[in-house]
């Protein structure tokens, strides 16, 4: 019998205290005792990353990315070492590994670096010696030897990258969330648990603020065909498998509804409408690694147009500074910025084959008297930007409109 390799990733809430870490160690040990090889990836304990960032904020409101990464990477280092110590205390051979020890090589975009290469020689050797590797998630090292991090929530991506490069049988993501739901149960009490979902749908949900998985981790899992399962670290059987589209049997048009709060918009008013304008406006943002999401350019009147786009609120200040400069350069009349907006999205593989999905969503919003400010659609999702105060109401309305409420589906679930 070939021994299969399982990658287990434990998120911050699963390792929040030494007691939690002890519980995790037992789970890891029992996976091993059952005859598997296991490698572990951990996040920082509890809210450690936030606490470290707060310390930096007490000193400076603009710490350099390089030092910020050096600071927050310690959170995962502490946790990996503590888990290795716990495993040793239980009589298992274990070894903690930092990103730079693997090494996991990234580009040099500090605070949201992307993986260039995961080297596996060292970890393969450790596994062959029957030692349990405990990898510090979220962190890597740049080609010039600086510590980097993969963006908030990035430990998931470390885990999937490891699973892909080691050709693991599966990647288990343990979290305090009880699997993946059709909507956030705190917002929508009628949300249902999803047992199986396609990579593509999960990618949309993850990208839209369903905070279960780091988007990049789902992208990687799809690219390298890593079977991914989200499990609760506190027991229970509410697992969610993330697999290929063809393997998802249940055929609902919409799989879930999300609310993204970290959204801001910037508008440039009365922009001279000529070739190259969109590029002029957006390229400084691309250079600063700011993700622009929705873009609307109004039809031009008298050679002028308005240009509006959305970005993550965390990048708003930086974007405002950049766009202010562009506005002067291209002679726009003025720049407006707002962060009192949210994005509500309906996600599902059925969108591309079912006409009328968008209109059903718009109807459900209008029935609640909610005004839609911006719209975007793709094969797998329809998103509407609306006023922040209507966000939660909108999620419930859309959830109901697509028959996702528990009442409608109770039979399917039990």
Q: Which of 397, 406, 155 is nearest to 259 (CA)?
A: 397
174 touches ligand ASP by CB under 6 A: no
Inter-CA distances, 321 with 112, 285, 333, Å: 20, 10, 16
Is position 380 an interface residue for ligand ASP (rule: CB under 6 A)?
no
Phi, psi of 379, rounded to the nearest 5 degrees: -55, -30
179 near Mg ion (CB under 5 A): no
List beta partners, residue 230.
173, 240
Q: Is residue 99 close enough to count as binding ligand ASP by CB under 6 A?
A: no
**What burial letters (b/e) apply to 244-283, b meaning 16+ CB within 10 Å?**
eeeebeeebbbbbbbbbeebbbbbbbbbebeeebeeebbe
List 153, 207, 256, 348, residue binding Mg ion (CB under 5 A): 153
Rounded to a whole number of angstroms, the minimum distance from the CB of residue 72 to ligand ASP is 7
Site for Mg ion in 187-246 (CB under 5 A): none
Instruction: With CA atoms as reference, report the closest residue to 8 among 42, 33, 36.
Output: 42
Task: Give, for 286, the enclosing helix (H) or strand (E).
Answer: helix 277-287
Cβ distance to Mg ion smaller for residue 155 or 345: 155
Out of 7, 12, 77, 311, the residue judged to bind ligand ASP by CB under 6 A: 12
Helix (H) or strand (E) holding 265: strand 256-272
Residue 189, burial from CB neighbour count under 10 angstroms (0-12, 13-18, 19+): exposed
Residue with smaller CB distance to ligand ASP, 153 or 256: 153
Site size with ligand ASP, rule: CB under 6 A: 12
| Nearest residue (CB) to ligand ASP, 99 versus 256 | 99
CB 340 within 8 A of CB 388: yes
Q: Which stretch binds Mg ion (CB under 5 A): 128-136, 153-161, 227-235, 382-390?
A: 153-161
Work out which of 29, 83, 138, 241 binds ligand ASP, going by CB under 6 A.
138
Residue nearest to Mg ion (CB): 153
Q: Which of residues 15-74 bind ligand ASP (CB under 6 A)?
A: 43-44, 49
Minimum Å gap between C-beta 156 and Mg ion is 6
Within the chain, what is the greatest distance between any pair of CA atoms? Answer: 77
* Residue from the set 5, 6, 10, 11 that interacts with Mg ion by CB under 5 A: 11
Residues near ligand ASP, by CB under 6 A: 11-12, 43-44, 49, 75, 137-138, 152-155
Residues near Mg ion, by CB under 5 A: 11, 153
């Amino acid at each position: 019998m070939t021994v299969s390799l399982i990658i287990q990733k434990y998120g911050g809430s699963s390792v929040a205290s030494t007691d939690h870490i002890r519980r995790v160690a037992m789970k890891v040990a029992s996976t091993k005792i059952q005859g598997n090889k296991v490698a572990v990836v951990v996040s920082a304990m509890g809210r450690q990353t936030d606490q470290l960032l707060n310390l930096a904020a007490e000193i400076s409101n603009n710490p350099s990315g390089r030092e910020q990464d050096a600071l927050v990477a310690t959170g995962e280092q502490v946790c990996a070492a503590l888990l290795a110590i716990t495993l040793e205390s239980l009589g298992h051979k274990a070894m903690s590994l930092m990103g730079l020890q693997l090494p996991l090589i990234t580009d040099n975009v500090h605070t949201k670096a992307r993986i260039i290469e995961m080297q596996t020689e060292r970890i393969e050797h450790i596994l062959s010696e029957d030692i349990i590797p405990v990898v510090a998630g979220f962190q890597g090292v740049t080609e010039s030897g600086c510590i980097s991090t993969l963006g908030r929530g990035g430990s998931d991506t470390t885990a999937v990258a490891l699973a892909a490069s080691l050709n693991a049988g599966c990647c288990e993501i343990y979290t305090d969330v009880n699997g993946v739901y059709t909507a956030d149960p705190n917002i929508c009490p009628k949300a249902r648990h999803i047992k199986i979902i396609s990579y593509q749908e999960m990618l949309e949900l993850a990208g839209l603020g369903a905070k279960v998985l780091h988007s990049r981790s789902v992208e990687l899992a799809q690219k390298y065909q890593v079977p991914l399962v989200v499990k609760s670290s506190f027991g229970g059987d509410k697992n969610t498998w993330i697999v290929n589209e063809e393997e998802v049997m249940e055929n609902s048009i919409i799989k879930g509804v999300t609310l993204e709060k970290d959204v801001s918009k910037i508008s440039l008013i009365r922009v001279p409408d000529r070739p190259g304008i969109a590029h002029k406006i957006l390229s400084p943002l691309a250079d600063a690694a700011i993700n622009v999401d929705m873009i609307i350019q109004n039809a031009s009147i008298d050679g002028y147009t308005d240009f509006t786009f959305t970005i993550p609120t965390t990048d708003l200040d930086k974007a405002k500074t950049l766009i202010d400069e562009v506005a002067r350069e291209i002679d726009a009349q003025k720049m407006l910025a707002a962060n009192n907006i949210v994005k509500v999205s309906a996600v599902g593989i059925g969108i591309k084959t079912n006409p009328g999905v968008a209109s059903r969503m718009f109807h459900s919003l209008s029935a609640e008297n909610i005004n839609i400010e911006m719209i975007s659609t793709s094969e797998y999702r329809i998103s509407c930007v609306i006023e922040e105060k209507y966000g939660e109401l909108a999620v419930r309305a859309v959830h109901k409109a697509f028959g996702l409420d528990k009442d409608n589906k109770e039979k399917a679930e039990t």
